């Protein structure tokens, strides 16, 4: 199976023009980055992940500005998620945002 990744119509993805698709993904906390406890959920096995709201959005996302409220202390996986990269474009396509 071949997965075709296309670029957005304007040719560029920016956080300012995005619908924060990445903030709907599950984020496991593997390293300590200083995420405030109120944004952390622990499963029954002791695994930690970013808390999500009832509608699936990351609890650290400011819904008015669509910006991360803990950007300086965001998890490692969020730091590694490349804006406009393969994973970003792929998730945007799954959500019908491209």
pLDDT (tens digit per residue) in 4-32:
444 444 556 666 667 777 888 889 998 78
Q: Is residue 53 part of a domain?
A: yes
Q: Is residue 3 part of a domain?
A: no
Q: Is residue 39 part of a domain?
A: yes
pLDDT of residue 50: 95
Three-state secondary structure call for residue 58: strand
Identify the helix (H) or strand (E) that includes residue 50.
strand 48-50
Tell if the pTM clears 0.85, that is, is over it. Answer: no
Q: Is residue 18 part of a domain?
A: no
pLDDT per position as a tens digit, 64-89: 888 899 999 999 888 888 777 778 78
92 against 41, higher pLDDT: 41
Q: Is residue 7 part of a domain?
A: no
Q: Is residue 64 part of a domain?
A: yes
pLDDT of residue 1: 41
Beta bridge partners of 62: 67
Q: Is residue 12 part of a domain?
A: no
Q: What is the mean pLDDT of residues 40-54?
A: 94
Q: Is residue 66 part of a domain?
A: yes
Domain count along the chain? 1
- Domain containing residue 82: 24-91
**Continuous H helices in 4-95:** 76-80, 86-94
pLDDT of residue 38: 95
């Amino acid at each position: 199976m071949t997965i075709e990744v296309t670029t957005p119509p304007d040719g560029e993805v920016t956080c300012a023009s995005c619908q924060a698709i990445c903030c709907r993904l599950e984020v496991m906390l593997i390293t300590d980055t200083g995420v405030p406890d109120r944004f952390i959920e622990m499963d029954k096995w002791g695994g930690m992940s970013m808390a999500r709201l009832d509608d699936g959005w990351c609890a650290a996302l400011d819904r008015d500005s669509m910006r991360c409220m803990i950007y300086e202390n965001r998890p490692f996986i969020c730091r590694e998620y490349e804006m406009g990269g393969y994973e970003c474009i792929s998730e945007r396509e799954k959500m019908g945002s491209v």
